[in-house]
Structure 1
Amino acid sequence: MAKKRAQPFEYVEPIGPRVLVRKDEPKRETKGGIALPDAAEIPTITGRIVTISAMVEQDDEMPLRQYDKILFHPKDAIPVDFESDNQLFVVPVEDVVAVFRRKDPDQDVG
């Protein structure tokens, strides 16, 4: 009898109040243009939401959507060993501290 080969996983779906985030690349230069050495440990805590759980998607009070750029606290972020560069993390929604938004040009400020 031939042994079945394990099929590679195709996607990761967070469960409960969590989102799957692709962490941004660490900065190698400051805004002022100063190059940072590779040894400098500057924690990157921004990223893009790749997938949201069904619980988050159904919660009208939760303003998170797929592809949002977010700022998150990395303490409870769980790395996902799914890609070789390991940039994916499952992040509890309570650790998402901000969402970056562009101002809608049609919005009336006044």
Structure 2
Amino acid sequence: MNQEQAPVNDGEEHTVSILSVGGKGDGIAKVKGFVIFIPETKKGDYVKIKITKVLPKLAFGQVVERLERAKRPSKFMEISKDELMENQYHSSEKYEETEDFGADLEEDD
């Protein structure tokens, strides 16, 4: 980051997702693009952390609380296999194959 001051301070609490794991096994999260190392976490964890140390280019934190992500409503409707099959066979519009498909189109020379 090209800032003089880090966007986090000692003692602050933040809710973060662990994005990856560093070479020493600590989880890595970001707050406003600023890297924070959190021990005893793994990729995909969703945690509330407390900042314990801030350096010019990174910070360290500890887990205050392990959280579960709220389930977001799906933008897709869930249906059973039976409902899918029923809808497939009860289509309101029937199509018929013909040998003269496209015959009425003009040809470009």
Q: Which has the higher strand share?
A: 2
Superposition TM-score, scaled by structure 1 size: 0.26
User: Which has the larger Rg?
Assistant: 2
Greater relative CO (CA pairs within 8 A, separation 6+): 1
